[in-house]
Structure 1
């Protein structure tokens, strides 16, 4: 399970998601040219997106195959909005 949270520069948690991303092989099979942001997700590592990367991530979420979706997608969008409205905020995908 990959958890999601928005953190500031000092890594304090500003917002977090209730749902997590259930890792499947489908994420590893995403086309890197079409999904460079989501390809950064791994089941055991962390991926961090800054304010400039969030629009790219949102675009990828719009194209995400249905079998990789779930509650986490809507919550990821909400966390992206938190990052876009703030300063020095980052969206973290935190692997186990």
Structure 2
């Protein structure tokens, strides 16, 4: 198990994300869990490449690192755990 420590600032930028433009990131909520499989990671990484600055932060780099862990393994998932 690998984990990240950085949190996401939900009140700045995230409410303004367009679900058609950022469907993977739009799946993240502060209260629910979101799970990404290996096939979804390229889409998530592409969205992280173009995430608005208001939504960025330390969590983006940590999410990228966790994506690499999942990509290198088998039967692994990237979980974002809500409140």
What range describes the TM-score normalised by the shorter chain of this pair?
A: over 0.9
- Alignment TM-score, normalising by the size of structure 1: 0.82
CA RMSD of aligned residues (A): 1.0
Distance in 2 (CA, whole Å) between partners of 1:53 and 1:81 is 13
The structure whose residues are more often strand, as a share, is 1
The equivalent of 1:33 in structure 2 is: 20
Unaligned runs of 5+ in 1: 1-13
Unaligned runs of 5+ in 2: none
4+ residue runs over 6 A deviation = none
1:90 counterpart = 2:77: yes
The equivalent of 2:4 in structure 1 is: 17
- Alignment TM-score, normalising by the size of structure 2: 0.94
The equivalent of 1:72 in structure 2 is: 59
SS of the residue corresponding to residue 70 of structure 2 reads helix
